[in-house]
A = this chain, B = another copy of it.
Amino acid sequence: MTHVLILGAAGMIGARLAMRIAENGTIGGQPVDRLTLADVVEPEAPAIAAAPAALPIETFAADISDPETAERLVCLKPDIIVHLAAIVSGEAEEDFDKGYRVNLEGTLRLLEALRAARHVPRLVFASSIAVYGAPYPERITDEHHLTPLTSYGTQKAICELLIADYSRKGYVDAVGLRLPTIVVRPGKPNKAASGFFSSIIREPLNGEVATLPVPTTVRHWMASPRAAVSFLERAATMDTQPLEGRRNLTMPGISVTVQEQIDTLRELAGQQRVKLIRYQPDERITAIVAGWPRDFNTFRARSLGFAPDRSFTDIVRTYATEEGIRL
């Protein structure tokens, strides 16, 4: 039977994964008999109508940058660890120390605790397409070099190298997933430079004004929260033999322009909603976004069974359904 530990379980993706496991009593089709949720802020147990009776859920407040946390969590002998805990891009850039402490040292401590305990679980690590840096070809291949342009991207790229080496040595059985930018991110607008990709859909659907800081020609690589959860489930349960030592995979997304996003909004919710998007050019954000990947060829991940969203229309429909918004 399977004990799953989610680190960063109070976050946007972590909470969804926890919910899904609690609802189904499985991860990637595999029965789960224990679920542990940890985050620096104590996660709430998923509030579901009918939890499978047999699935005990524990929640922990645990800071992964604290020297004792990893040891404590590894003692629980989880079979699958989904490691989502991170300081995200903007904050890691502003607070250099904190970014390295959480994103690099936190992961390293976890790996070291596993090695010391000689406990070898499946580890799913959430990496990011921020490991790539401009200039790149129009479509980035699986063999393109990693030249991150942020501390966040650097920390993710380093963790990718670490999980590959620790896996090669047999200390862990890890898979790293370079997640696309997750759109539509539910909840309040945040200060991430990428926030507008979500807010130009989310805010108008809520009847609120959204600001678009970049030209509509901007193209970017996106996946839905639902797709992200399905990637994590697959990585948690896949056979890692076919990875042949290359433990990190760029996840399939869809390559969408802001214009296509807006057209989809118009199609599904009407021109009145589109009018709520105000174009306010922001040179700083436009410059940042110019350094982001636009499109990938994710041959490896696809051949290993990772499937992208079908369309941006599909992403918006699912978002609306999940949030109880009628289109």
Contact surface of A with B, Cβ cutoff 8 Å: 96, 133, 142-149, 151, 154, 157-158, 161-162, 164-165, 168-169, 245-246
Q: How far is the CB of A109 from chain B (nearest CB, A)?
A: 13
Q: How far is the CB of A207 from chain B (nearest CB, A)?
A: 41
Q: B96 touching A147 by the CB < 8 A rule?
A: no
Which of B144, B145, B162, B246 has a CB less than 8 Å from the CB of A154? B162
Supposing A154-B162, A157-B161, A165-B154 touch, asked if A246 and B147 sit within 8 A by C-beta, the answer is yes
Which of B133, B164, B169 has a CB less than 8 Å from the CB of A245? B133
CA distance A245 to B149 in the complex (A): 8
Q: B143 touching A145 by the CB < 8 A rule?
A: yes
Q: B151 touching A169 by the CB < 8 A rule?
A: yes
Supposing A144-B143, A147-B246, A245-B147 touch, asked if A161 and B164 sit within 8 A by C-beta, the answer is no
Give A133's nearest chain B residue, CB to CB.
B245
Q: How far is the CB of A16 from chain B (nearest CB, A)?
A: 30
Q: How far is the CB of A276 from chain B (nearest CB, A)?
A: 37
State the copy count for this chain: 2
Residues of B close to A168: CB separation below 8 A = 149
Which of B96, B143, B162, B165 has a CB less than 8 Å from the CB of A169? B96
Supposing A133-B245, A245-B133 touch, asked if A145 and B148 sit within 8 A by C-beta, the answer is no
Q: A162 touching B158 by the CB < 8 A rule?
A: yes
CA distance A144 to B168 in the complex (A): 21
Given A154-B164, A154-B165, 11 more pairs with CB closer than 8 A? A96-B169, A142-B145, A143-B145, A144-B145, A145-B145, A145-B146, A147-B164, A148-B164, A149-B168, A158-B158, A161-B161
CA distance A158 to B147 in the complex (A): 12
Residues of B close to A165: CB separation below 8 A = 148, 151, 154
Q: How far is the CB of A287 from chain B (nearest CB, A)?
A: 14
CB-defined A-B contacts under 8 Å, sample of 8: A96-B169, A142-B145, A145-B146, A146-B146, A146-B161, A151-B165, A154-B161, A154-B165
CA distance A146 to B162 in the complex (A): 13
Residues of B close to A149: CB separation below 8 A = 168, 245
Give A171's nearest chain B residue, CB to CB.
B96
Q: How far is the CB of A161 from chain B (nearest CB, A)?
A: 5
CA distance A147 to B154 in the complex (A): 15
CA distance A169 to B150 in the complex (A): 9
Give A96's nearest chain B residue, CB to CB.
B169
Which of B96, B158, B245 has a CB less than 8 Å from the CB of A161? B158
Residues of B close to A246: CB separation below 8 A = 147
CA distance A100 to B143 in the complex (A): 26
CA distance A224 to B158 in the complex (A): 31
CA distance A165 to B130 in the complex (A): 13
Residues of B close to A154: CB separation below 8 A = 161-162, 164-165
Q: How far is the CB of A249 from chain B (nearest CB, A)?
A: 12
Residues of B close to A158: CB separation below 8 A = 158, 161-162
Residues of B close to A147: CB separation below 8 A = 164, 245-246
